[in-house]
Amino acid sequence: MTIKPVKRKSRSRVADAVVVGAGPAGLTAAIQLVRQGIKTIVLEKGRPGGQIRTANLVENFPGMFGMKGEEAADEFVDHARKIGVKILKEEALRINPDLTVITNSGKWRSKAVIVATGAVPLKIGNDTRHASVDLEHPSSLNGKSVLILGGGDAAFDRGLRLSGIASSVTIICRGRTSALELLVKRAINAGVRIVQDAGESRPISSGKGALVSTRKGVFCGDALLLCIGKGPNTSILPTPLEKLSLQALTGETNIPGLFVIGDAMAGEYRQLGVAVGTAIASAMRTGKYLKDKYGIQGTSDGWE
């Protein structure tokens, strides 16, 4: 007799609102939703805190002047947890049109979903090996030489963060640097080498370390970091981002109950303040949507 394998049903759970991503935008939205008494879950596949962890310093967000990126991320996470935000280590794989969120642990059924999945580094061609040096654990680069491709604020911020750890840091700019003058001056003072007008840079396959070919020669290092721009991380959306008719402030889309906020929708304005602002507006709009459509007005703590 042949025994057919039993198919296990995907575990299904329910929340009024699901926030995907535990960076500053996602955590801020969740904080506001919980304050409104809405049953909210935050899904995060990695370490809560988001990409702000990789920043050298936070200088353009009031109240956090001079704070290390790692410290700023911890502040967001600590605040969220103290107010009662539930953060689950769970990867969202896709969002269905009915707002069911499919994850690696089952599914979440909800009436509203806020997507705060951030942005992903652009790559050169199909080369994904150097999309990101592990800046959450920069000590792994202690005593090593690092090459950074890019000429904007992000490249110089990363260069400054690594300058006190790596044996050498070289920033290779395609043209002239476009970074803030204060970042360029700090980089020079920190001993960072800056190569401008290098033209198109091409990583070369190498058995060991990193090689980059430019019109100013071939540069060698132990590690390579690409800072050539970012794109929205929105692959889990049920519809391509450009077809969702995003509202600039709230991140509301043409799918009722679906919102996209923070770096996932900010375009060139990927800043901490923008992420937090859109998150608060989105959460307030979500609360109104849940009240108007479903009569949900929240409870004292959101889950009782």
The DSSP call for residue 233 is -
Closest-CA residue to 198 (of 215, 213, 212): 215
Domains, the chain, ranges and CATH? 13-120+230-294 (3.50.50.60), 123-226 (3.50.50.60)
Cβ atoms within 10 A of the Cβ of 244, count? 21
Cβ atoms within 10 A of the Cβ of 213, count? 15
pLDDT range class, residue 111, cuts 50, 70, 90: very high
Residue pair 10/105 in contact (Cβ under 8 Å)? The answer is: no
pLDDT tens column, 174-223: 999 999 999 999 999 999 999 999 999 888 766 678 889 999 999 999 98
Residue pair 129/226 in contact (Cβ under 8 Å)? The answer is: no
Residue-level pLDDT at 190: 96
Q: How high is the mean pLDDT of the chain?
A: 89
Amino acid at 135: L
Does 131 have pLDDT greater than 50? no
Q: In terms of pLDDT, which residue wins out, 7 or 172?
A: 172
Does 130 have pLDDT greater than 60? no
Q: What's the half-sphere exposure (Cβ side, CA atoms, 13 Å) at 202?
A: 8
Helix (H, G, I), strand (E, B) or coil at 211: strand
Residue-level pLDDT at 266: 76
Residue pair 171/159 in contact (Cβ under 8 Å)? The answer is: yes
Residue 35 CA from chain centroid, whole number: 24
Cα 235 to Cα 260: distance, rounded to the nearest angstrom? 12
Query: pTM score, two decimals?
Result: 0.85
Residue 225 burial by CB count (10 A; 0-12/13-18/19+): exposed, middle or buried? buried
Residue pair 102/93 in contact (Cβ under 8 Å)? The answer is: yes
pLDDT tens column, 24-62: 999 999 999 999 999 999 999 999 999 999 899 999 899
* Helix 272-294 and helix 24-35, axial crossing angle in degrees, nearest 10: 40
Residue-level pLDDT at 129: 46
Does 15 have pLDDT greater than 90? yes
Residue-level pLDDT at 209: 80
Q: From its phi and psi, is residue 182 left (phi > 0), alpha (psi between -120 and 50) or beta?
A: alpha
Cα 304 to Cα 302: distance, rounded to the nearest angstrom? 6
pLDDT range class, residue 135, cuts 50, 70, 90: low
Rank 68-77, 129-138, 295-304 by mean pLDDT and report only the highest: 68-77
pLDDT tens column, 240-296: 999 999 998 999 999 999 999 999 987 778 899 999 999 999 999 999 999 999 999
For a pLDDT cut of 70, what percent of the chain falls above it? 89
